[in-house]
Structure 1
Amino acid sequence: MRRNKIEDTIVALSTPPGRGALAIVRFSGPRSKDVVEALLLNGAGQPFASELIPGRSYRCQVREKIESATILDDGLLTFFQAPASYTGEDILEVSLHGNPVIVRHFILEVCERLRVRPADPGEFTRRAFHNGKIDLLAAEGVRRIIDSKSIFELHASRKLYDGELARMISRFRSALIHLKAETEAEVDFSTEDLTFESREQLLQRVQDLRTSIGDILERSRQGGRITSGIQVALSGIPNAGKSSLLNKILGWERSIVSEVEGTTRDFVSEEIELAGLPVRFVDTAGLRESEDLVEKEGVRRSKQQMERSSLIFHVCDLSKEPYPEPDFPAVPVWHILNKVDTASSQIRSHWNDWVRKGSNDRIYEISCKTEAGLAELRNALTEFLQSEAQSVDPFFLEERHRYHFLQMDEALLRLLNLWEEEAPAEICALEIDSALEHCGELTGKISTEEVLGRIFSVFCVGK
C-alpha cells in the first residue's frame, strides 16, 4: 500500500467472488457515508432521512446510477462509525444478491463517481493496524483464522488474534527494560549509595528469559507438527489394497485402483480433517525389490515418507501367505489385514500368528470391497489422532516470529558472554537494545513498509 492512500476511501467485495446467495461490498474511509446519500434508498424507496445508527442493519435499494431512479438491486446496509469499527474509520457494508453483474456495476459506479478506489489486498486490516485497532500479531491472526484448515489450527489462530503471543512479548519487553535499567544504573549512579541487583541475579534473569524463549519455540514446534498435518503412511506390497483403503478413508477416488501390480509408482498424498485435526494420508509405492529405475525411486521416496509419519498402516493381502516383514522406522505400525472377505480361516490364522510373533503392533481385519472392519478402523484412528493432539497446545509461530525470537536469544547469549568478559555496561546495554528491537518488530511497534507490505499482501482483497 502506498503511504499517501491512508486518507482515501476504499471498496472491495468481502465475500468470495462468483455467483451465490449474497455478496457483501465493504467500504472504509471518510466518504463511506457519501455512498448512502448518492446511491442508496431506504426500503420504501426514499432517501435515508435520519442519521444511521451504528451497528444496525437497514433494508435498502441500490440505484443503478447516481442520477437515475432505476433500481439495480435490493439489499441490506450496515454502518459502523469511526473509531468503533474494524478499521477505526467509517465503514459501510452493503449486502447484495450474489450476482457478479450487480457487484461489478455497483463498485464501478462508486469508484467512477464518488472518488472511491478499489482496496489493495489486506488493506482493511492494514488500516486497522495503522489506526491502532490491532497490533501486527493480531493482524496475522486474522489471516490465519481465514486460512485455517482444521479446528485445531483455528484454535491456534484465535490465540494469536486474541493476543496470547503479544502478552508474552510484553512480559519479555518489561523484563528487558528492567535489565537495561539495572545495567545503565551501574554507570549513571555508580558513585551513589544505592543498592542494585547483583550480577548473579541479572545473569539468572537473562537465563530465565532464554529458557522462556526456548519453551515458546518448542511449543510452536509441537503445535506446528499438528497444524501441518499428522501424517499417516499406507505401506505394503504391490496390490495389497493400499490405494483402495485410501479411497475408502477419503470417501472418493483419489488413487488409481488396478489389478496390475505396481500401479502406484510414487507416493500420492491427500489432506483431510478428522476429529478436528488435519491429517495427511500418503499412499506409498508398493514395497518390493525391482530393477525398474522409476519403481526403485518410488520405493525410496516411500520409505522417506514413512520416516516422516506419525503412524504407518501396513496393508497386508490376506489372499496370500505371510511374507517377510519390511523394516519399518521407529513409529507406531498398524497391520491392516485386507481382503478378509476372500481369505480362508487358515490364512487368516497364519497372518495373525505372523504379526503377533514379531511385535505388539495392532491388527485390524478389513475388506475394502465389502467395507467390513472399516468403521472399527476409523474409530481407532480417531482415538489415535485425539491422543496425539491431546497433550499438544494449539500454538504456532510464523517464520517471522521464529526469526525474531531466535535473534532475541542470540542477543541475550552475547550479553551473557559480555558479562563473563566483564565488558563495559554501555556495551552490554547495546545487546539489550537489540533484543528490545526484536520485541518491537514482532508486535509491529517497530516496522518497515517492506515488512508490512509482505505481511498484508497475502490477505484476500476484502480483508
Structure 2
Amino acid sequence: MSSDTIFALASGRGRSGVAVVRLSGPGATASLAALTRQELPESHRAVVRDIVTIDKKTIIDQSLVIFFAEPNSFTGEDVVELHLHGGPAILTALFDQLAGLKGLRPADPGEYTRRAFENGKLDLTEAEGLGDLVNAETEAQRHQALRQMRGALGAIYDGWRSELIGSLAHLEADIDFPDEDLPGGVAAAISPRIRELKTDLETHLADGHRGEKIRDGLDVVIIGAPNVGKSSLLNILARRDAAIVSEQAGTTRDIVEVHLDLAGYPVTIADTAGLRDAGDMIEREGVRRARARAELADIRILMTAADDPVIPEDFADLHRPEDFYVINKIDLGGAGDGPTGSLSLSVKTEAGLEEFLAALETEVVRRLDVSGAPALTQLRHRLALEECVAALERFLVAGEAELAAEDVRLAVRALGRITGRVDVEDILDVVFGDFCIGK
C-alpha cells in the first residue's frame, strides 16, 4: 500500500474560501513538480505556485504549497499540501490532473492516518483519538479526544506493558538458566507488584463506561403516565417540536430521541409512551419499549402531574434513588406529592425549568467528568484489558513457572493490542474504516 501515492481533499467538501488537497507517498514530490514546473520548495516552508495542467496549457489556480519531507510529516512519508481556492471547478480540474499521473490514486477512508500508524507516527489509541476529535460535537468530546490523540491514554497502557515485560524477563531468565546464580523465587518476588497492577487495571475498568459515554452520549429517558407532559418537556429541551403533543392519551407510541449538548457533554434524551394498561396492540408495544429503554438508561426522569399526583404502579419497580422525580403542571395549582428531592415545574410557563436543567446538568457532569485520569473510550480497549486482568489472575495462582510466565506473556500481548504493538492486522480495517476520506 505504501508504494502508492495517494491524494484527497483534506478540508470540508462544498464551496469554501480555501480547500486543502493532500498528497502522500513516494510520488508526491514528482507530482508537485509536474503541476508547478518549478523546483521543489524547502521542507516545511509555504510558497506560492501556479498549479498548471500536465500539458502546461492551462493554469488551474494559484496555490499556497507546503512540502513536508519524510519522515517529518503526518504520515511519515513525503507529503505535499496544496491550499487552493475552494471552488468545485478548481478541485475537479486538479483531481483530473492528479488521476492522470502515474502511481497516484485517490485515498481510501482513514488511509493517511493508517499510514501514520504504520510508519510509527501514531499508536492506535492516538489514531482513534484523532478520529474522535474530527467527530467531536461537544466540549467534553473535544477535550477527551485531544488528550487521547496526544498520547495520554496510550502512555498508561504502555507503562503497564513495560512493567509486565520487566517481570516477564525475570521469569524467563529463571526458567532458561536454572543453574545460574539468579535470585530464587522470582514468581513470588514479583507477585506483589503484579497484584497491584491487577488492581490498577480493575480500577481503570470500573469507570462506569465514562469514556465510552462521552464518545456516544449519556442516555436519558423520560417516563411517566400519559399526558403528564413528557413530550412537552422533550420539545422544550430540544427547542423544537421533536415529539407530537396532544391532549389525547397515548399519542406517543414509539421512542422519540433528541441529541443535546448539556454543559458541554453529549446527551441523548428519549421520550417514551405513557405507562398504563394500554388498550390496543401498538400502544402495548410502545409501553413495552418504554419500560425496556428505562431499564437500560443512564438517567431516568420520572414524571407526574400536579393535577393528578397519583404515582403509577409501574414506577415501583423502575424507580431508583438516583432518578429525577419531576412534578409537572404546577401552574394548575399545588405541587403534588413526590419523594424527597422531587423537582416541581411547569413546562407550559417554564416555572422551575431553570432549576431542573441545572440539576440535570450537575448530574451529567458528575457522571462524565473529564478532569480526572484518562478513561478508556473503545469497547476493544475494554475487552483487551479484561483479557489482561484474567491472565494476571491466572498468574497469581499458577503453580508451574512456565505457566506463570505464559500468563504474563498473554497479559503483555493483550495490552500491546490496544496501542498496536502486536497482533493488530485483523482490527486495522475496523479502526480506520470509519475515518473520513482525506484523514
- TM-score with structure 2 setting the length: 0.89
Q: Report if aligned partners of 2:132, 2:215 keep a CA contact under 8 Å in 1.
A: no
Partner of 1:403: 383
How far did residue 264 of structure 1 move?
A: 0.2
CA distance in 2, matches of 1:407, 1:334: 37
State the 1:189 CA deviation.
4.1
Q: Write the letter of the residue equivalent to 1:61.
A: D
Change (3 A) 1:194 1:261: closer
Closer, same or farther: CA 168–382 of 1 in aligned 2, 3 Å: closer
Higher CA-based Rg: 1
CA distance in 1, matches of 2:327, 2:298: 20
Aligned residue for 1:383? 362
Cα distance change of structure 1 residues 54 and 136 upon mapping to structure 2, 3 Å threshold: same
Segment drifting more, 104-113 vs 326-335: 326-335
**What does the per-residue CA deviation read over 1:44-86, in whole Å, with 9 as the maximum and x for residues that have no partner?**
xxx64x65233333334332x2224433233322222221110
Aligned to 1:436: 412
AA paired with 1:15?
S
Q: 1:238 aligns with which of 209, 223, 226?
A: 226
Q: 1:392 to 1:244 in 2, by over 3 A?
A: farther
- TM-superposed deviation, 1:335: 4.3
Q: Which residue of 2 aligns with 1:43?
A: none
Find the partner of 2:109 among 114, 121, 124.
121
Deviations 1:306-358 (A, max 9, x none): 2333433333344x3432344242143444444444x2xxxx22x34x23xxx
**Residue 194 (structure 1) shift:** 4.0
Against the structure 1 CA distance between its residues 408 and 147, is the aligned structure 2 distance closer, same or farther, given a 3 Å change threshold? same
The one-letter code matched in structure 2 to 1:17 is R
After TM superposition, the structure 1 = structure 2 runs for residues 48-59 of structure 1, keeping only pairs within 5 Å, are 48=38, 51-59=40-48
CA distance in 2, matches of 1:58, 1:192: 64
Give, in whole Å, the separation in 1 of the partners of 2:120 and 2:208: 27
The secondary structure found in structure 2 opposite 1:113 is coil
- Please list every run of 5 or more consecutive structure 1 residues that lacks an aligned counterpart in the other structure: 41-46
Structure 1 residue aligned with 2:28: 32
Say if 2:212 and 2:378, in contact at 8 Å, map to a contact too.
Answer: no
What secondary structure does 1:97 align onto?
Answer: strand
Instruction: Tell me which of 103, 128, 151 is aligned to 2:139.
Output: 151
Displacement of 1:119: 1.1
CA contact (8 A) 2:6 2:23 kept: yes
Q: Secondary structure at the match of 2:365?
A: helix
Q: What root-mean-square deviation, in Å, do the aligned CA atoms of Structure 1 and Structure 2 show?
A: 2.6
Does residue 195 (structure 1) correspond to residue 191 (structure 2)? The answer is no
Show the 5 A alignment for 1:55-134: 55-63=44-52, 65-134=53-122
Question: 1 CA distance for matches of 2:150 and 2:302?
Answer: 42
Letter in 2 for 1:154: R
Q: Deviations over 1:225-268 (max 9, x none)?
A: 44432232222222222112211111112111223221101221
Other structure's SS at 2:287 match: helix
Shift of 1:11: 0.3
1:213-252 aligned within 5 A: 213-219=201-207, 221-252=209-240
**Rounded Cα–Cα distance in structure 2 between residues aligned with 1:60 and 1:229:** 45
Q: Could you list the per-position Cα deviations for residues 372-425 of structure 1 after superposition, in whole angstroms to 9, with x for gaps in the alignment?
A: 443343333323322333486551242222222222222223323322xxx2x3
Q: 1:78 to 1:194 in 2, by over 3 A?
A: closer
Which of the residues 124, 127, 134 maps onto 1:136?
124
Give the secondary structure class of the aligned counterpart of 2:360: helix
Letter of the 1:431 counterpart: D
Q: 1:375 to 1:97 in 2, by over 3 A?
A: farther
Q: Deviations over 1:12-36 (max 9, x none)?
A: 1112333333322110122222333
Say whether the 8 Å CA contact 1:210–1:412 is kept in structure 2. yes
| Separation in structure 2 between the aligned mates of residue 430 and residue 299 of structure 1, nearest angstrom | 52
Deviation at 1:192, TM superposition (A): 4.0
Are the equivalent residues in 1 in contact too, given 2:221–2:272 (CA < 8 A)?
yes
Matched with 2:346 is 366
The answer for the alignment partner of 1:283 in structure 2 is 271
Distance 1:435 1:333 in 2: 39
Paired AA for residue 34 in structure 1: A
The alignment status of 1:332 with 2:308, answered yes or no, reads no
Letter in 2 for 1:20: S
Structure 2 distance, partners of 1:393, 1:331, is 27
CA distance in structure 1 between the partners assigned to 2:190 and 2:212 by the alignment = 33
Structure 2 unaligned regions, length at least 5? none
For 2:418, the aligned partner's letter is L
The AA in structure 1 aligned to 2:29 is: K
Distance 1:92 1:206 in 2: 48
> What secondary structure does 1:219 align onto?
coil
Aligned residues: 435
Say which of 431, 436, 439 aligns to 1:455. 431
383 and 429 in structure 1: CA distance in 2 versus 1, 3 angstrom threshold: closer
Give me the whole-angstrom Cα distance separating, in 2, the residues matched to 1:336 and 1:177.
54
